[in-house]
Amino acid sequence: MKKNFLIGLVLLGFLFSGCDSKSPIDSSVVAKKSVQNNKYEFVPQSFNLTTTNEKNISFKSTDNGLDFDEFKGKKAVLIDVFATWCPPCIEEIPVLKEIKEKYKDNFEIVSILFEQDKTKEEILEFIAKHGINYPITIGEENFRLAKELGDVKKVPEMFLFSKDGKFVKKFVGKIPKEEIEKYIKIAIEN
């Protein structure tokens, strides 16, 4: 009986091990589904994220949210904190692509890679493999932003901001498309 128990534990350990040798999956960092209307107090500071194609996305945090240099007054923005090894993150990609295309004139997604061990080339391959149509940022600045967004510890987590940069909603885990769209419409209108 003890032998079967130990074998079960070992198999359970393998179940939660990484998809590749560089990125172990720890089930404790995969978020469970929830939609949160948390109030956040942001500390005013500047951020300059770098995308995989060397474009800079600059913004400042304010008391109420994030003011994006490029998008303020033009587009609502969804910050998507994800990891390439995270099954719910990958499952959400088709939904995010569809939403991005549907609301492209009034909405932007900025995906924040929450991994340190991925090269730019690996991320470019990931983008091509999944046909991602929104920017993915890489680098240490991502982790500073994750800290500002309530000290992100689990993925996926998404943070929605209105056209004027005000925080609207936090989503944790895999969220149905209809739920995300409901709040995107609110963010676009406000």
- The pLDDT tens digits for 104-140 are 999 999 999 999 889 999 999 999 999 999 999 999 9
- The pLDDT tens digits for 130-181 are 999 999 999 999 999 999 898 898 899 999 999 999 999 999 998 999 999 9
Residue 11 lies in a domain: no
| CA atoms in the 13 A half-sphere facing the CB of 1 | 0
With contact defined as beta carbons under 8 Å apart, do 72 and 103 qualify?
no
Q: CATH no. for residue 113?
A: 3.40.30.10
Looking at the DSSP assignment, which residues form a beta bridge with residue 51?
Answer: 137
- The pLDDT tens digits for 22-76 are 334 343 334 344 444 555 667 789 999 999 999 999 999 988 899 999 999 999 9
Burial, 137: exposed, middle or buried (Cβ in 10 Å; 0-12, 13-18, 19+)?
Answer: buried
With contact defined as beta carbons under 8 Å apart, do 88 and 31 qualify?
yes
Domain span at residue 144 reads 20-189
Residue 108 lies in a domain: yes
Residue 50 lies in a domain: yes
Put simply, whether the predicted model's pTM sits higher than 0.95 gets the answer no
Residue 147 lies in a domain: yes
With contact defined as beta carbons under 8 Å apart, do 166 and 64 qualify?
yes
The number of domains in the chain is 1
